Amino acid sequence: MPQAFSNRRFHLLNPAIEFLPSVVLRGVRHSNLHYAVEMVRNNIEAYLHQLQQALPYVPPIPVEALYSLHIAQDYEGMVQLIKNTMNIDVCLRVGWVNSGGRDAPAWIELPPNMPFYGSSAFREMTITMFIRRSFLEQSTYDQAAIVVAHELSHIVLDSIGHPLRREEKAVDLTAMLLGFCALYASGCYREETSQNGTSIRTLGYLSQEEVELANQILAQRQSGTKTKAALLSHALRGIRARICVRSSGS
């Protein structure tokens, strides 16, 4: 993870971007389904384009350590590992919520004037994140991880003054960019079967379809980047070979 995010100025591509929830997609007539999917894809691409102007794409983080910490119910260790993985160098205080508070599994309190990422003021400040114990105890390791990553992504976007910092879907996409794309794929939507039937549990602000589209777009962009790098490397080898031939012949 780079030591600093870009501090370039931003201009919001489309301040009125809207996303279609999965329930809407399922209700679209077949003749309009292609258009609806393309509209969602265009919106996801627009958000990712905005975010990638400042944020790097981080390969999916290793899950073994997260899984082990979750099994051991070392939730503080999970938070610390995710914070370190995202390279958020602040003093993070965690409030473990038993009851009350907001109607959410977790939330974070940000200062009204966030210091810029990487500055001494940023490193010296203390931020409090609240997490419900009941949520952690009832969740799988990937569900717990993406909730923590989402809240920490608020710090990232606020600290660089990104125009999408108040867009919750963009916050989820930020967490996906910073190493949690695979965990979003496995944890954002889950069907759970019990004696009472099948229930669906969703997490985050992106629909299942939007998470799948984001992962496809990120995979395609990474593949394209690797292809360009391979072509450049091949071209450079050819240039070096020609130089060597000319040098030996002179």
> Has residue 71 been placed in a domain?
yes
Please check the confidence at residue 54 and state whether its pLDDT lies above 60: yes
Residue 161 in this model has a pLDDT that exceeds 90: yes
Q: Which of 114-123, 188-197, 231-240 has the lowest mean pLDDT?
A: 231-240
Report whether 191 contacts 153 (CB < 8 A). Answer: no
Strand 106-109 relative to strand 197-202, pairing: unpaired
What is the predicted pLDDT for the residue at 31?
52
Confirm whether 204 is domain-assigned. Answer: yes
pLDDT tens string 129-157:
999 999 999 999 999 999 999 999 999 99
Domain assignment of residue 107, given as a range: 22-249
- Tens of pLDDT, residue by residue over 5-20, are 554 434 343 333 344 4
pLDDT in the model for residue 141: 96
Q: Is residue 142 part of a domain?
A: yes
The pLDDT of residue 224: 61
159: domain CATH number? Answer: 3.30.2010.10
pLDDT at site 223: 74
Range 188-202 average pLDDT? 81
Residue 133 lies in a domain: yes
**Would you say residue 15 lies in a domain?**
no
| 16 is a domain residue | no
Residues sharing a CB contact under 8 Å with residue 146, sequence separation 6 or more, in sequence order: 172, 175, 180, 183, 184, 187, 188, 203, 204
Answer yes or no: pTM beyond 0.85: no
* Alpha-carbon gap, residue 117 to 128, rounded angstroms: 17
- The mean pLDDT value for 15-39 works out to 53
The pLDDT, as a whole number, for residue 151 is 98
Q: Are 25 and 208 in contact (CB under 8 A)?
A: no
**pLDDT for residue 66 is more than 90:** yes
Please report whether residue 168 resides in a domain. yes
The CA-based diameter of the chain, rounded to the nearest angstrom, is: 84
Calculate mean pLDDT across residues 26-35. 57
Q: CA-to-CA distance for 129 and 109, rounded, in angstroms?
A: 6
CA distance 206 to 11: 23
Domain tally, the chain: 1
Say if residue 76's pLDDT is above 90: yes
Tell me what the pLDDT averaged over the chain comes to: 81
Beta strand 189-194 pairing with 197-202? antiparallel
The confidence score (pLDDT) of residue 42 equals 87
Position 5 in a domain = no
